[in-house]
Each structure stands twice: as structure tokens, then as C-alpha cells.
Amino acid sequence: MFWIREAQVNNIYFKTTIISLLIIVSQAIAVDNCIECHNQIHEQIISDCKEDAHSRARVFCAGCHGGNSALADEEAMNPKYGFVGAPKPKDIPRFCARCHSDAGYMRNFNPALPVDQLEKYWTSRHGELFKKGDYKVAVCNSCHKAHGVFPSGDTRSSAHPKKVPSTCAKCHSDPALMQTYGIPTHQYTQYIDSSNVHGYALFVKNDITAPVCNDCHGNHGAAPPGVSQVGQVCSHCHMLNAKLFRASPHKDGFDALGTMECAFCHQASPDVNAPLARIHTIVKPMAKLAGTVQPAVCVQCHSQGDAGWQMAGKVSAGSDSLAGKFAAAEALIKRAEKRGLEVSDARWQLNGDIHRAMLELRTAIHSFDLEAWQQHFDYADSLVNAVNAQGLHATQELSSRYKYFLIMTLIIALLIVLLILKIHQVENDRKAALTNKQGGIRR
Amino acid sequence: MPIEHTPNYSVSRRRFLDLLLGGTGLAALIGLFYPIFRYLTPPEQEEAVVSSVNLGPAKDFPLNSGKIFRFGNKPGIIIRGSDGKFRAYNATCTHLDCIVQYDAKVEGVWCACHNGRYDINGRNISGPPPRPLTPYAVKIQPGAEEILIASQDGAQG
Amino acid sequence: MNNKMWNWFNERYKIDSLREFAQKKSVPLHSATIWYYFGGITLFLFGVQVLTGIFLLLYYRPGVDTAFESVKFIITKVKFGWLIRSVHSWSANLMVASAIIHMFSVFFHRSYRKPRELSWVTGVIMLCLLLTFGFSGYLLPWNELAFFATKVGTDSARAVPFIGDMALRLMRGGADVTGATLARFFGLHISILPIVFAVVLGVHLFFVQLQGMSKPLGHSRDDGKKRSMPFVPDFFLRDLIVWMVVFNIVLMLAVFFPWELGVKADPFSPAPAGIKPEWYFLFVFQSLKFLPAHIGPFEGEMVGIMALGLVGLAIILLPWLDRAASRERRSRWLDAIGVFVLLYFAVFTILGYVLD
């Protein structure tokens, strides 16, 4: 045939092409042999694996289960070919680690992939119990599934941020299972509560950087954070607040009380008698959190007269007055904008500097140092006052409009009166002229 | 018959009325043309759309520093890297709209609200920010060596 | 000096005859004389529109990126820009209102009857031009409300049989309301419409001067006892007074109720709730809403638009349809139709505001 003759001319290329084709075909055939027989009984598993991370790395059935996939009969599953079948839970961690803890081997696929998962696992609560022979605890596939394993950034993965809460909840919301360990089961319901800022950010605002279970508890090394570690955990994102808190007198006090730093005040309805009751619902911080009346959290420990009580009172009164002033100034500016008055500087201040100053003021509370807070307060207050002044100035501009209208109205009114007089005069003149004519008197 | 209808308006009264009418008419015209004249006078800001802003001489910006500036109604940040190059971005963090700042220690942009970080090219590298910062074009006026900021698409902010 | 100048002009342009004409011109006096003012009011407001329109042009910039910004610039940064813009918007609305009142008064007095048929026709044409003025001017600030109202408004053109789709594309300058539509509407609003309007207005005024003002039915026969008032200066001075009052009202509206700019149009955002056209289109909008989706074999909206077209045609042909009026007789059923149309307009406009 013509094309073969043509190819023979480029003999070397022809050979290489044929060889690489054979390799591809043989690999394809190798997969086919497992699937060939199992496609009926393991249809779901086969379709799950189709595009998962292992398939993409060309690790097919035999890659984990062993055996010789080149053979097309029962012989393929002879243990002499390394066939292991489905590994038992007690074997899983080490089973996966054969590859995943082998840095040299993993480098073939993704050199940036960590290989310390097993090591971390042994440090986790799960791993500790596992070592003691409790095989009911979570192992690799409890979270990652056995078939259909995807990188955690893939939405199909059970370890994707949006799936993590429900993945953990499979066991941790099961009262029968958790009873044996004496662990409460309300974490998931608390987390998905719409008043939980992080859950809200994750599920409603689709912010997959919002912290889920493993961001605070760790993933392969999952364990409850120690009471004094909570601040550290929160500080990954809320670093300024955490920094101030840890330098404040509250740090030691909280540790002594066994309340969980940030989480104690910021949980829904904090109660010093049950400091951990709702720590998985972290609510949006609001001004009334600091103060001397419920629901302010300060009253949980401070009583009338002590320094904390006094500061709480000042902070609460200050925030209230500032919020009121801010609302008033904003209303002024809004009204001015609606009327088309020039207040873009004020608007810039409201959205920029003041927004930032109020944020900093909120952060400054965490120092629990009245003087430091007062400084921030005075700054924010002066900014709001300046905007208010601009709003008032705009209102004056408005009154100058009214003045213009008033003057014009007066002139027009006067003009109208004069025109009426003029009409009278014209008509009278004409009437007089007519009478004179009729009277035959010539002028 | 005696004349019943002598003109009610004597000549002087008539002239007075005409004069008053003319005067008031003139006042009305002035009242009308005053705003028109003010309207025609070019306003301080001569054009409607802010598509560029002048930040002053380049030598005022030290190496490895950043500064927040106002661009229309939005905050901008101008950074002079340790390489001497200028870069400018919309300073609104792409996470929750806080205003970012320059962190000279790591030579990058940092948002204090949730510890989000961007590199000096505005790319989000860690923390919650989902997107890079929106870049502005920086031009250095030849001769005067003044910094001009313009948005990439020519529109405001 | 004055006399010299007068003579100089008079020698060349015969302005004496003009003066004579003006002095001879008179306004009939009767119980309905007051309605004569509305033509003058409309004319005055047109003058205000031309003047403020020209001023707005100095700063306005058509274009998706600049239209809204430049109007905002006018009302915030330009001194008295808020006044010019608000006066333009308010005066436009009052002008439509006074034109409609003028037309109804002409209708109920049958002033369109022989020999003033063409005055009526030019008047109806001007009303159509006015509505187009309003419709095109509404979009120019490129704010959300105007954007979606224009979208809905132009969309109803689709219902016109055969040429609907083409008319829609022609109006919008494409398949959708975009910057191309804005450019079209701008050209229409500041160039084409003013020229056409000025020409038709000239013809309309020329007819009125030529034929004098119409008298109510029955008045034209008894010429013996006719009462009238000289146009200059008596009626003209009264006109001036009315104009002053109207101008003051416009100023008041502009100062105390400045026309809002709203938010900039975002073509990709969903239409906000409560999108309504300008009040003078509201009755059409509301009627189309009430129509069922299908009437017989036709689409409801199509039937509505066609009916509207027929009504428009009947209005233009009214002087020839109304045979009674040309014989100086008042047709009762035409009065009934007029009252019905007025009530329909009022009720559906109110419904348009009340219902959502």
C-alpha cells in the first residue's frame, strides 16, 4: 500500500510509532481485563474510578488490589501476582501509605504532594485509638472514599471544603457511635446554623476559604485543640485580634477558667457555666457583645464596680454613640447625594477611612486596655464628626437653593402684580378713549 | 354729558408703572441669567470621568514602600518595589472589601482583616482572597517624572 | 433714534404690516377663553426645553461609560447644574401635560372643525413627537429605571405584525438595548426631533395666525354681538402672567423635588421590581398588561398595539369623521367618547401606579 511504502522510507519513525502504539494498546488491554469481568458486579465502583486521581495517574484496579490484569481469567487474582482483594479497615492506613508515604514513588506523580499523612495520622485522636486496636475510628477511606478519590480542591471530592462538614458528620453526628467515646454530637448542627459566620460564608456566600472542621482541628492529625490553643487557631485569619488578646490580661484569666479564648465570647449565647456549649456556632460580632447588660458577654464574669465592668460600660456607651452619630452622618450625606449636592469627599470618608477606623476600633477592644481603645475611639469619633460637618455644610447649600427660589418667586410675584396693573391701565385707557369718542369729544 | 371716564392713569403714573415693570423684568432676567452664567463657568473638575490621577513626583516614593491614594470613589494602592518599579492596584481586598496595605517585610500586599496576602504583582497567594487585585496602569510623565495612575480600561476606578 | 431704526427696517422689511396684523389679531371672549392659554403654555415650555437642553449638551456625553457619569457630574460638580437638569426634566413633563390638556380642550370645543382640520393634524403630529421626545430623553441618563423601561417599551414594538422585529432592531440599533440604542436616542433627541418639531410647530402657528382663534360651537354665527379682546397687548400680557406662574411652578418643583438620577444601568443585572414607564405611557403599559395572552387566533399584545394604532388613526382623521361639527352641531356620542377616553386615561394611569 502506498502509505506503508512511504513509511518505510522513514523507517525509524515508523518503528517508534508502532512501538508506542503497542504500549498504549497493551495498557488499555491491561485495564480492560479487570473491568471485563467486573463490569457487571462492580459497575458503580468502575464508574466512580473513571476520572478519579488514581485513574489519572494511571493507577487502575490492580494498582491497589494487586493481581495481574494482563490475564483474562481467575488466574489474574492469584496471590502470587500480589493480589490482595479488598483491604480490611485495620490494614488501610498502612495499605495506602505503601505509596503515599514513599516520597521517591510519589515524586513520579506530583513532587509537591505531602507524604507525611500516615505520620500525622498516628498523632491524631483517630490514630491513637487505632493503635490501641479500635478499628471503628476513621481511616483514610472514611474521609477520602476508596473509589472516586479526588484532590480536595475538586468539588467531587469528599474532602472538598464544602463537603468536609458532612463528611466528618457521618460519624460525629452519630449518637450511638459517639456514645462509646463520650463525645457530643452537636458540632455539625451548630456549624451549619445560619448564624454561624463561617458556615454562612461557606454555604451561602460560597467562600471556600472559610474555615471548616479540619482548618481548626487538623486533617490527618485531627484532634481537638487544647483550650489554650484556640487563640492560635483563630489567629491564622484573625491575627490582629488574637495578638491583642494574647497580650491582654484576659489571656491568663481565660486559661485559668478553662474557657476557650476567642471561642468563649464569640459563640452564640456564651455561658460561663457551660463555656463549651455552643462553640461551633461563632456568631457575627456585634456592638452589644461588649457591655454591662445581657446579652453582653462581659457580665458573665465581671460584676458591678470592677475595672472590667467599667470598661465594658464605657465601650458599650461609646460604640452606641458612635453608631448613632455614624448613622446620622450617613443619613445626612445620603440625603445630600439624593439632592445632587457635592459630598463625594464625605462619601469617600464614610466608605474608606471611617470604615477602617471603626474596624480598628472593634479590633482594639481585644486589648482590653481602656486607654488604647479610647485612642482609637477618639480617632473614629473625630472622623465621623468631620463627615457630619460636611453633611451640615451641604444642608446649608440646600438652603441657598431655597433662598434663590424665594427671591425668584418674589420677583415673579411682583412682576405678575405689575402686569395685572398694566392690563388694568391698558383697558381703562381704551374704555376712556371709547367713551370720549362716543361723547363726541376730541382730545 | 360730562366725561365719566377720564383715564384713571395720569401720564406720570403710567410712566412710573412702565418703569417699575421694566425694572422688575430686568431683575427677573438677571435672576434667570445668573444661574446660567454660573452654569457656563467651567467647574473646578473640568471633566465628568476620572480616568487618571496624578500622584506627584516619583522621587517622593521611597523604595520598598506603598501608599493608599484616592482614585475616583475607590481606594488605590501604589507600590514602589525594592527594584524601583511602580505598581498600582485597586486597594479593595477581593475577599471582604477591606483596604489592603503594603507589607515591606515580605515585600507583598497584606490585608489585616483576615490575613490575606498578595504578592507584589497583586496575585493572591495565601489566605482567603479569591482573586488577584485589580491592577491600574502606572505612567511616569517624561520630564516632570510625575506618577500618573490610570485604570486599565480607561473607566473610572 | 427708535423711529429711525424702525424706519430703516420698515423700508426694507415692511414690518408695519406685521404690526397692523398684530393689532388686528384678537382673541374671542367667552366662558371658555381660559382654555386658549394652554397652547401658549406648551409653547413657553418648549422654549424652556430648547434653552435648558442646549445647556445640558455642554456637559452631557452620550456613551455607556460616560452618560450616567456626565449627568451625575452636571448635578454635582457644575454650578446650578442641578437646576438646569431638574428644570429640563420637570418642564418636559409639564409640557406633555399641557399639550394633552390643550388637545382635549380643542376636542371638546370642536375647534378642529372646518377650516382648522390641518391645525388639528399638525397638533396630533406634535403630540406624537413630544412623546418620542420624552421616550428618547428618558434613556439618556442611562440609569437603571430608564434602561429597563426602554427595554420594555421598545419590546412592545415586536407585537406589530410583519414589521415588528425590524422596527425593534431599528429602534434599538441592534437586538438589545445597548450603547448603540443610547447613541440613536441621543441623535433623535437632540437633532432630528427638534428640527422636525420646529417645522411642524411653525406650520401649526402659521395656521393659527392665518385663521385666527376658533370660537366655540354656535358662536361663529352671530357675528353681530361678538365679544373679543385684542391679542396685543391685552391677551399677550395675560399670557405673560400665566407663563410666569408656570415658570415659578417649574422652579419650585426643581428646587424642592429635584429629579432623581438613581443608579447606573447594569445591563446584566435582573430587572428591578416596579419598572414603570413615564406617566404618559403608563395607561398603554397597564392596558397591555390586562390583555389576555391570546385573543382569538392573535396574540393579545398584538391586538392591543393594533387597537392603539387604530385609535391613533381615528384621532388624526377626527376632523373628517365628525360630520356634525362642520355643521356647527355638537355630537352627543362624540362627547361621550371623549369623556370615556379621558376617564380611561385617568383610571388606567392611576391603576398603573396603584397596581404592581
Q: Where are the domains of chain B?
A: 10-43, 52-151
Contacts of A409 in chain B (CB under 8 A): none
Distance from the Cα of B129 to chain A's closest Cα (Å) equals 8
Nearest beta carbon to residue C237 from set A341, A344, A419: A419
Query: Which residues in chain A are contacts of B1 at CB distance < 8 A?
Result: 439
Query: Closest Cα of chain B to C31: distance in Å?
Result: 27
Residue B57 confidence (pLDDT): 83
Q: Give me the pLDDT at residue A30, please.
A: 47
Band (pLDDT 50/70/90 cuts) for residue A168 is: very high
CB burial of A46-68 (b: ≥16 within 10 Å; e: otherwise) equals bebbeebbbbeeebbbbebbbbb
Q: Are C107 and C338 in contact (CB under 8 A)?
A: yes
Contact B38 C69 (CB under 8 A): no
Mean pLDDT of chain C: 90
Quick check: A20 contacting C, CB < 8 Å? no
CB atoms inside a 10 Å sphere around CB A399: 9
Count of other CB atoms within 10 angstroms of residue A342 = 21
Asked whether residue A2 carries a pLDDT value surpassing 50, the answer given is no
Q: Looking at residue C33, what is its pLDDT?
A: 84
Task: Work out how many domains chain C is built from and give that number.
Answer: 1
Does the N-terminal peptide bond of residue A285 adopt cis geometry, omega within 30 degrees of 0? Answer: no
Q: For residue A4, what pLDDT is reported?
A: 44
Mean pLDDT of C103-113: 93
Tell me: the pLDDT tens digits for C206-263? 999 999 888 888 765 555 556 788 888 888 999 999 999 999 999 999 999 988 888 8
Kindly tell me if the per-residue pLDDT of B100 is higher than 60.
Answer: yes
Query: CB C75 to CB A404 under 8 A?
Result: no
Whether residue B155 is predicted with pLDDT greater than 60 in this model: the reply is no
Position B157 scores a pLDDT of: 38
In this prediction, residue C329 carries a pLDDT of: 86
Q: Which candidate from B35, B70, B128 shows the least CB-CB separation from A209?
A: B128
Instruction: Give CA–CA dist C356/C343, Å, rounded.
Output: 20
DSSP 3-state assignment of B150? strand
Residue in chain B lying closest to A355 (CA): B98
B29: part of which helix (H) or strand (E)? helix B11-40
Lowest mean pLDDT among A28-37, A394-403, C26-35: A28-37
* A327-370 pLDDT, tens digit each: 999 999 988 887 778 787 788 888 888 888 888 898 899 999 99
- Report residue C30's pLDDT band, with 50, 70 and 90 as the boundaries: confident
Confidence of residue A325 (pLDDT cuts 50, 70, 90): very high
Averaged pLDDT, B52-59:
80
What does the block give as the cell for A84?
490482595
Answer yes or no: are the C-beta atoms of A370 and A314 closer than 8 Å: yes
Coil, strand or helix: which one is B30?
A: helix
ipTM for the predicted complex comes to: 0.88
Other C-beta atoms within 10 Å of C6: how many?
13
* Predicted local confidence at residue C45, as pLDDT: 97
Closest alpha carbon to A241 in B112, B96, B110: B112
Chain B residue numbers touching A355 (CB-CB < 8 A): 99
Looking at the DSSP bridge assignments, the partners of residue B52 are B150
Neighbouring-strand partners of residue C229: C27
Above 50 in pLDDT, residue C330? yes
Residue A435, min C-alpha distance to chain C (Å): 17
A210 close contact with B: CB closer than 8 A: yes
* pLDDT number for residue A7: 43
Residue C76 lies in a domain: yes
DSSP three-state, residue C53: helix
**Band of residue A301 on the pLDDT scale cut at 50, 70, 90:** confident
Asked if the model's pLDDT at residue C265 lies above 70, the reply is yes
Segment A29-62, tens digit of pLDDT: 444 678 878 888 888 888 888 888 888 888 888 8
What is the per-residue pLDDT for C39? 94
Q: What is the pLDDT of residue A321?
A: 92
| Close Cβ partners of A402 (under 8 Å, ≥ 6 residues apart) | C255
What is the model's pLDDT at position B156?
41
Cα–Cα distances in Å, from B121 out to A58, B62, B141, C52, C115? 37, 18, 22, 49, 79
Strand partners, B151: B136
pLDDT beyond 70 at A8 = no
Report pLDDT for A224: 75
Lowest mean pLDDT among A217-231, B115-129, C75-89: A217-231
Q: Is the pLDDT of residue B111 over 80?
A: yes
Element (H, E) at B80: strand B74-80
Residues of C in contact with B40 (CB under 8 A): 55, 58
Question: Which of A360, A242, A164, A161 lies closest to B128 in space, CA to CA?
Answer: A161
A294-353 residues touching C, CB cutoff 8 A: 338-342, 344
pLDDT surpassing 70 at residue A441: no
| Pair type for strands C294-295 and B116-118 | unpaired
Round to whole Å and give the CA distance between A392 and C76.
Answer: 16
- Report yes or no: B113 at the A interface, CB cutoff 8 Å: yes
Order of strands, sheet of B108-111, starting from the edge strand that comes earlier in the sequence: B101-103, B108-111, B116-118, B124-126
Chain B residues close to C66, C-beta within 8 Å: 48-49
Provide the domain limits for residue C43: 35-223+230-265+272-277
Reply yes or no on whether the pLDDT at C8 is more than 70: yes
> C164 with C172: CB under 8 angstroms?
no
Q: What is the pLDDT of residues A256-280, one digit of tens each?
A: 877 778 888 898 888 888 888 888 9
pLDDT of A21 > 70? The answer is no
Residue A306 has pLDDT above 50, yes or no: yes
Which residues in chain A are contacts of B130 at CB distance < 8 A? 207, 209
User: What is the CATH T-level fold of the domain B52-151, as seen in this structure?
Assistant: Rieske Iron-sulfur Protein (2.102.10)
Sorting pLDDT into bands at 50, 70 and 90, what band is B33? very high
Task: Report the pLDDT value the prediction gives residue A10, as an integer from 0 to 100.
Answer: 52
Predicted confidence band at A442 (pLDDT cuts at 50, 70, 90)?
A: very low
Residue A5 above 60 pLDDT? no
CATH label of the domain that carries residue C92: 1.20.810.10
